[in-house]
Amino acid sequence: DVKVTQSSRYLVKRTGEKVFLECVQDMDHENMFWYRQDPGLGLRLIYFSYDVKMKEKGDIPEGYSVSREKKERFSLILESASTNQTSMYLCASSLRGGVAKNIQYFGAGTRLSVL
């Protein structure tokens, strides 16, 4: 079974803090993704990565950065957390290439509250 692990299920941070959300997958997947999910807005892609040290902006990258130093780990960084970044954050991974391979597997999510 594919396992995507997010380091925290719940986080509470203060405005202005630097926040790190960590994601690790154990299936040697090349592709990794970070989404946020808010009521009525669905899943929105923040950043994704196709390989180590590579990153691509998604639909809503503002206020976020990412790091992929190792294949299995993809970190999402909030440089200066703001209240509008309170959300559920979901990490996903998939194999590279081919229609059948781009099934994405998700972690359990991190519910972040910024006060």
Partner 1 sequence: RKEVEQDPGPFNVPEGATVAFNCTYSNSASQSFFWYRQDCRKEPKLLMSVYSSGNEDGRFTAQLNRASQYISLLIRDSKLSDSATYLCVVNLISGNTPLVFGKGTRLSVIA
Interface residues toward partner 1, by CB under 8 A? 31, 33, 40-43, 45, 48, 50, 58, 90, 96-100, 102-109
Which CB, 31 or 85, lies closer to partner 1? 31
What does the DSSP assignment read for the chain? ---EEES-SEEEE-TT--EEEEEEESS--SEEEEEEEETTTEEEEEEEESSTT--EE-S--TTEEEEEEETTEEEEEESS--GGG-EEEEEEEE-SSSGGGG--EE---EEEEE-
Beta carbon of residue 83, minimum distance to partner 1 (angstroms, whole number): 21
Beta carbon of residue 52, minimum distance to partner 1 (angstroms, whole number): 14
Beta carbon of residue 57, minimum distance to partner 1 (angstroms, whole number): 11
Which CB, 2 or 77, lies closer to partner 1? 2
Which CB, 91 or 114, lies closer to partner 1? 91
